[in-house]
């Protein structure tokens, strides 16, 4: 995933790229931002499902002792 930051020149949300120590900023369009949010939501849902499964497994292991 790209590094996103506020552009110091124009104040817009931008992708930050490091080219041999020189930072460049590329403005993010609204549809790109929405796509990133969608990707983050999907990743969080997967993480949440794994965490819940691990909690159930832990409870099962605690109960069997």
DSSP state, residue 20: T
| Per-residue pLDDT tens digits for 4-33 | 888 888 888 888 888 888 888 888 777 777
Asked if the model's pLDDT at residue 1 lies above 60, the reply is no
Q: Which residue has the tokens 């069997």?
A: 64
What is the per-residue pLDDT for 55?
96
What is the per-residue pLDDT for 14?
84
Best CA proximity match to 9, nearest among 21, 26, 22: 26
| Per-residue pLDDT tens digits for 37-46 | 889 999 999 9
- Average pLDDT rounded to a whole number, residues 39-62: 94
d(CA 36, CA 9): 23
- Select the more confidently predicted residue: 12 or 57: 57
What Cα–Cα distance (Å) separates residue 4 from each residue in 29, 52, 60? 12, 30, 41
């Amino acid at each position: 995933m790209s590094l996103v930051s506020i552009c110091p020149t124009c104040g817009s949300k931008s992708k930050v790229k490091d080219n041999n120590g020189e930072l460049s900023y590329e403005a993010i369009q609204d549809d790109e931002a929405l796509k990133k949010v969608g990707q983050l939501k999907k990743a969080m849902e997967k993480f949440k499902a794994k965490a819940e499964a691990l909690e159930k497994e832990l409870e099962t292991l605690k109960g069997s002792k």
